[in-house]
Structure formats: C-alpha cells, structure tokens
Amino acid sequence: MTSENLAAIFPGGGKVLEVTSCPVNHPAKGEVLIRNYAVAVQPLDAKMLLTGYGGAVSLNYPAILGTSGAGIVEELGEDVSLLRIGDRVVFDTQAYVKGGDANRREGTWQQLVICGAETVAKIGGLEFEQAVLIDFPLQTAVVALHLFLGMGKPGTGNSKEKVLIWGAGGAVGSYAVQYAKSVGYELVVTASAKDVDRQKRLGASEVVDYKAPDVVDRLRLLGPYKYLFTASGDLTSQKTLVSLLGSEGGRFASVLGGDVKLPSNVERVYLPFSQALQKDQYSGLRSWWYGDYLPKVLQERLVEAVKFTKREGGLPALQQASADVFEGKIRGKLVLNPQE
Ligand SMILES: NC(=O)c1ccc[n+]([C@@H]2O[C@H](COP(=O)([O-])OP(=O)(O)OC[C@H]3O[C@@H](n4cnc5c(N)ncnc54)[C@H](OP(=O)(O)O)[C@@H]3O)[C@@H](O)[C@H]2O)c1
C-alpha cells in the first residue's frame, strides 16, 4: 500500500512553495490514484504562483497547483471499469475548477494524485513527458476551436476555407494549427521568422511574421477567414483580429482577455478553455476527448509535440521553473518529474 506522498504546497499569494509530506488519499467512487511522473509548467500555473492570478477560480489556500500530469494508475475506486492498475496514463484534475478542497487536494504538483476516471486517457507506450506536453495545450486549442468557435472534428473541414491562428509559435498555437489542419482547413498563421519551417511542417500554408510592420495588410490579403484564434492572446493580436473582421464583424477566440474595444458586431470568445472538459455540461465532448481522440492522437503520434527541456530536481525545482516560465526564458515547455 502506498504510504508517502510529497507535495509542493502553495501557502498563498506572494509565498513560495513548500515541499512537504502530505496524506495519501485513496480513490472514492469513480476516481483513481495515479503515481505522477511528469508535469509541464504551464503559463497559468506560473501566473497563479507568482502573481496570485486566480485563473478559473479563487484557490483555497494552502493549495496544490497544476491540473495536468502523466503517470501510472496505482489504485482504483469503485465503479472504475475502463482503467486497470498499472495503466500508463495522462490526466487532468479538477484542482482549478473546485478551487482546491483542503482535505483532498487534486493539483498535480505532487507525487500521488487523485483524479476522476473520466478525465484520464491511456497513453500506451508513449513517454510520460511527451503526453504532458500535448494534453493540456492541445485540449485548450480543441476546446476553443471546436467547442466554442464551432469548428468540426477531424476530416470534416473544407480545404477551400481558411483559418487564422495568431501566435502559432507557442504550445496552444502549435496544436491549434495541427488540429485545424486535421479538420481539413487551409492554415494561415503568425509566428516568428525563425519558426517558418516548423509551421509549414505542422500544416501552415502561409506564415507571417507577427512582428513585421505590414502584418495586418498581409493577413488581410490572405483572408477571408472562417475561424480566427489568437493563441498568444496579447492585445495587439486581438486588435488585429477585430480589424480583420472588418465592417461585417464576426467572432474570434482568444486565450487571454484584457481591455480591447470591441465593435458591437464583434464577439470575443475568451474562457478558461483548459478547464471546460471538467464540467459535466460538456460530458459528451469529455468522453470523446479522453476515451477516443486523445488516446488515438498520443498512441498513434498524430501530432508533433512542442519542444521541451527536462528540469532536474523534482518538486523543489518548481519554484524556479515557474519563475523562468513567467519571465519568458523558456522556449517550449519545462517538464519535471515529481518522483525525483
Ligand atoms: N484560456 C485558456 O484556457 C488558456 C489555456 C492555456 C493557455 N492559456 C494562455 O495562453 C498563452 C499561451 O500559452 P502556451 O502554453 O501556448 O504558452 P507557450 O507555449 O509558453 O508560448 C509562448 C510562445 O508564444 C509566442 N508568443 C509570445 N508572445 C507572443 C505574441 N505577443 N504574439 C505572438 N506570439 C507570441 C512565442 O513564440 P515565438 O517567439 O516563436 O513567436 C513564445 O515563445 C498563455 O498566456 C497562457 O496563459 C490560456
């Protein structure tokens, strides 16, 4: 029986992580206990730790951050029929949806994580690092494009219609490109000049440098666009998408909010996309994601993962890793192993 669980406890806004031994929870009905071998530090986690940013919820402190991880199933609760002890999985918890129950903290910045079985996907022989690199940001992209903008599922698109992904260089952007391509659209993206070859490999037909002075004109000439998504979410990108929608208006999705003047005929879709599948109102899409689409993508290696750097040092290294992500020092993702 599992007896020790080290966790990175976040005492609250402005305070640093404390790595300490925590109680081992055992799975209730419909839950599993997973030994967690990989976490990727997401910008959301870093912002929550370093700025007190609440994300989807106001956390109840002390809290355990991180909603996504990859590891091996160690215990099964009642009524879990599709998973077995020993399964290799990637998973997402309700840590940011529930706000953190002090007795059963579900964040993934710990060694042993309780997770609802419906948000666990099997990864077959894929490395844990590769699985965590893909799940959270790909899910963000698919939820934004499919659930909230109405783009179809793979194979249902029209190759004569165009999709614009702004900020395709990041993880969410890179996966948004690959998803939209798999649906069947032509892709126009903005990325930095050094990223052109990779963007073309991922599926972009046109890559425009988002720092070029004529970026708006070039994107206008390449349009019109059926779907528009800013995966960097910065205000410049949002203003550009508003301008591209022009007098006809329309809508675009953004990973971030912020104060942008929107004409009455333009809608900005900005939500905590990464947490949507934790909600029962989206249980249909959740079943497709964890039971069908994500395992297929991971096991058949259907998407190219973003680059990552392995940060040694386990949970105690999360504080500095988060600062590095927050300060924009990291290209790709930083991955840590909570068992070290
Ligand atoms: N709403 C949600 O549910 C949700 C979910 C996940 C993430 N997010 C947010 O989405 C953002 C991206 O997340 P991520 O995981 O993709 O981050 P990431 O992988 O760290 O992406 C960072 C990369 O994006 C590119 N970039 C940065 N600023 C840019 C700008 N102003 N314009 C265009 N490209 C820019 C840069 O690549 P190049 O230098 O190569 O251009 C940078 O290296 C974060 O702010 C995150 O908090 C929101």
CA of 171 to the centre of ligand 1 (A): 7
- Give the model's pLDDT for residue 39: 98
At 56-107, the pLDDT tens digits run 566 788 899 999 999 999 999 999 999 999 999 999 999 888 876 666 688 9
CA of 114 to the centre of ligand 1 (A): 29
| Residue to substitute in 136, 232, 325 for testing ligand 1 pocket (most ligand atoms within 8 angstroms of CB) | 232
Return the residue whose CA atom lies nearest to atom 46 of ligand 1: 43
Half-sphere exposure of 217 (CA within 13 A, CB side): 3
The span from the CA of 315 to the CA of 297, in Å, is 28
Strands 68-76 and 31-40: antiparallel
Q: Which two tokens stand for residue 206?
A: 């046109």
CA of 103 to the centre of ligand 1 (A): 33
Q: Which atom of ligand 1 is nearest to the CA of 172?
A: 16
- Give the model's pLDDT for residue 102: 64
Mean pLDDT by 10 residues, the chain (340 residues): 85 91 93 98 94 71 93 98 97 86 82 97 97 98 98 97 98 98 98 97 98 96 97 98 95 96 96 95 97 96 96 98 96 96
Judge whether 252 and 230 are in contact, CB under 8 Å.
yes
CA 289 to chain centre: 13
Judge whether 313 and 335 are in contact, CB under 8 Å.
no
Domains of the chain: 5-122+307-336 (3.90.180.10), 137-273 (3.40.50.720)
Q: What length does the chain have? A: 340
Q: Which atom of ligand 1 is nearest to the CA of 306?
A: 19
CA of 251 to the centre of ligand 1 (A): 20
Judge whether 338 and 165 are in contact, CB under 8 Å.
no
Strands 112-116 and 186-191: unpaired
Return the residue whose CA atom lies nearest to atom 33 of ligand 1: 167
- Give the model's pLDDT for residue 266: 97
Judge whether 71 and 35 are in contact, CB under 8 Å.
yes
CA of 233 to the centre of ligand 1 (A): 7
- Give the model's pLDDT for residue 46: 95
Return the residue whose CA atom lies nearest to atom 10 of ligand 1: 255
CA of 213 to the centre of ligand 1 (A): 21
Residues facing 279 on adjacent strands: none
Q: Which atom of ligand 1 is nearest to the CA of 140?
A: 5
Q: Which two tokens stand for residue 37?
A: 């071998």
- Give the model's pLDDT for residue 53: 80
Return the residue whose CA atom lies nearest to atom 22 of ligand 1: 170
Q: Please, what's the largest Cα pairwise distance for the chain?
A: 64
| Residue to substitute in 57, 142, 145, 172 for testing ligand 1 pocket (most ligand atoms within 8 angstroms of CB) | 172
- Give the model's pLDDT for residue 103: 65
